[in-house]
Structure 1
């Protein structure tokens, strides 16, 4: 899925919602734990309930890897289910990988060849040669961590270079934007740092931004849209816990659908106000 196709999906669904499949075996409804694959059973129902309101899904790999081979199997089944039933969905592997070139090449093979994700989150700390292997897949996307929503972001990401005057996250953006194009790269920018989106847009005006932190983490969707939206929307806003754990009872999927619809309706208003639909 290229940049224009992603924008067309946003227009079609009147939504730029990404649902985070942070599926915790300890939090899923009790009645699913008797099924042969509780994680996949949960994901399948969440996807069916929210797909009409979402343009993307983002499984967080830690929730699957923590379960060993069974978790990996659940992940594979989830990806295959989306690919078979919802071909218009953009799939993001929230893996946060980042290593030397040979290792990154194998990570890319795992998530792009084996699992057929559209995109993967990558930590850029080790530099260009650790990112390039992911970018050899011309129809795939790399999503670089730029400015995250956690409190620890202040430990390093705002450190200022005395010579250039740039903060570290600005240096990451300025250096990495030439590694690819807005057809192959996105950036993670936390919703709790929404006031920084204007500065970020000055550096990368045309790239898509993946924005976590709306909902349970306290980020404001309105502030994100106000500061980060461009002339092709340019945003994928992620919500995980606020949607997938809207209920812990047998009505969990129904409640997840209602929560996703509510976010979609807010996004529709924002897209309309920006004359993008």
Structure 2
């Protein structure tokens, strides 16, 4: 059974950031073809890999973000690995279901039930482009968070997110402004890509108090310094994700130790940036 009563409010999240001098989110994008060979004979290689990564990085990470695709692609066994991983993550570490769900009301309600009740994640990434009735059902769960896609780091984001609306504003800005009528700073965050460094300041101006989930640092080339300079606020306001750069730092038996080294490099830089831009 999943752990009960997971949940973390904004103050508790900032408290964890201060305690660990870190705003690191470790992405558990666990690919069966990339994990060390010696683990593949294990009865549950995905969970064993995740377990060792968590053991190595839990003192440095504020959040863990399993990308759901890596688990659901494996069918029931993958979902089992995901559930075991979620249960293994300490309750004082924020959990993100990177599922990018979003559909009409009754379907969104069931997606929300799946990830917030059945599995008991703290948060879920949600696509906003079907509008309020696709997002609101996720916001009815007390103590849970929606992380709304706003300005992403992939190349294809330019296809739609920067197109001017009828008002002349880029579409991502319309999403930010409209969505503030749906949620608040205690139940809604935004995905803002690190590779759009020059845009982070624009996003922060529109939503000054919200937390951002920031992908794109590390393997995708985003600058942690830029993210902090343009995106940090008085409660930090950032969860910066690194996936491949940490979990695949080594494909040998020392993979967990190598992951810790890479996580520690980021944490040390984050500690300096917190002193510089937050405290």
Give the deviation of 1:165 after TM superposition.
1.5
- Identify unmatched segments of 5+ residues in structure 2: 1-7
Q: Which residue of 2 aligns with 1:135?
A: 139
Q: Which residue of 2 aligns with 1:157?
A: 161
Using the alignment, how far apart are the partners of 2:177 and 2:197 within structure 1? Answer: 19
Give the deviation of 1:194 after TM superposition.
1.4
Using the alignment, how far apart are the partners of 1:195 and 1:250 within structure 2? Answer: 40
Q: Which residue of 2 aligns with 1:240?
A: 243
Please give the per-residue CA displacement for 1:122-181, whole angstroms capped at 9, x wherever unaligned. Answer: 0000000111111110100000000010000110100012x4220000000010011010
Q: Which residue of 2 aligns with 1:221?
A: 224
Using the alignment, how far apart are the partners of 2:179 and 2:252 within structure 1? Answer: 45
TM-score by length of 1: 0.97
TM-score by length of 2: 0.97
Matched, 1:25 2:28: no
Q: Which residue of 2 aligns with 1:255?
A: 258
SS at match of 1:113: helix
Structure 2 counterparts to residues 186-225 of structure 1, below 5 A: 186-225=189-228
Q: Which residue of 2 aligns with 1:107?
A: 111
Give the deviation of 1:87 after TM superposition.
1.8
Q: Which residue of 2 aligns with 1:52?
A: 59
Give the deviation of 1:91 after TM superposition.
0.2
Runs of 4+ in 1 over 6 A off after TM superposition: none
Q: Which residue of 1 aligns with 2:81?
A: 74
Give the deviation of 1:275 after TM superposition.
4.6
Give the deviation of 1:75 after TM superposition.
0.1
Aligned partners of 2:26 and 2:241 also within 8 Å: yes
Computed over aligned residues only, the root mean square deviation of the Cα atoms, in angstroms, reads 0.6
Using the alignment, how far apart are the partners of 1:195 and 1:177 within structure 2? Answer: 22
Give the deviation of 1:274 after TM superposition.
2.3
Aligned partners of 2:228 and 2:277 also within 8 Å: no
How many residues matched?
A: 272
Matched, 1:118 2:122: yes
- Identify unmatched segments of 5+ residues in structure 1: none
Using the alignment, how far apart are the partners of 2:268 and 2:189 within structure 1? Answer: 24
SS at match of 1:159: coil
Aligned partners of 2:232 and 2:278 also within 8 Å: no
SS at match of 2:84: helix
Using the alignment, how far apart are the partners of 1:159 and 1:138 within structure 2? Answer: 34
Using the alignment, how far apart are the partners of 2:225 and 2:197 within structure 1? Answer: 9
Using the alignment, how far apart are the partners of 1:7 and 1:101 within structure 2? Answer: 32
Aligned partners of 2:23 and 2:240 also within 8 Å: yes
SS at match of 1:146: strand
Using the alignment, how far apart are the partners of 1:68 and 1:177 within structure 2? Answer: 36
Q: Which residue of 2 aligns with 1:12?
A: 19
Give the deviation of 1:17 after TM superposition.
0.2
